[in-house]
Amino acid sequence: MGYLGIYFVQPRKLKCSLDAANFAKRGFYRAANSLFSKIGRTASEEVILQIISSKCMPILMYGLEALPLPKNQLNSLDFVINRLFMKLFRTTDIRIISLCQELFNFELPSVQPERRCKKFVNKFSAWCSI
């Protein structure tokens, strides 16, 4: 069962599916490949990553801070980003990919839901105390 791009496997336990057929991953890959087809290798890696951050990451991360995600699903999202970096930097060495992510200050999806959830709770509690 799907609702707003989130596919529920077990609604009573609020378990969600992030399989390869999932809307979010397909949408991310579609947007990233479209970006690569339009600009190719003419733009710098920094520009490409900035566009990916602002245009493609929201597609991948839509609504995930509201869901309890197990470690394997978060790793699945990280894999999507690691593959993007492998394509962009033309390497399969995960150490190089990790270094590039660190140097370009590109945050993996596995750390974003918790950070975004804390940000929401802080804003909400500040609003409630008014």
The 10s digit of each residue's pLDDT in 29-55 is 999 999 999 988 789 999 999 999 999
Q: Tell me the C-alpha distance between 22 and 5, whole Å.
A: 8
pTM of the shown model = 0.76
Number of structural domains (the chain) is 1
> How far is residue 91 CA from its own chain's centroid?
20
Query: For 1-30, what is each residue's pLDDT tens digit?
Result: 565 556 666 667 666 665 544 677 888 999
Domain that holds residue 102: 2-128
Query: For 65-122, what is each residue's pLDDT tens digit?
Result: 766 777 888 888 899 999 999 999 999 999 999 999 999 999 998 888 778 778 878 8
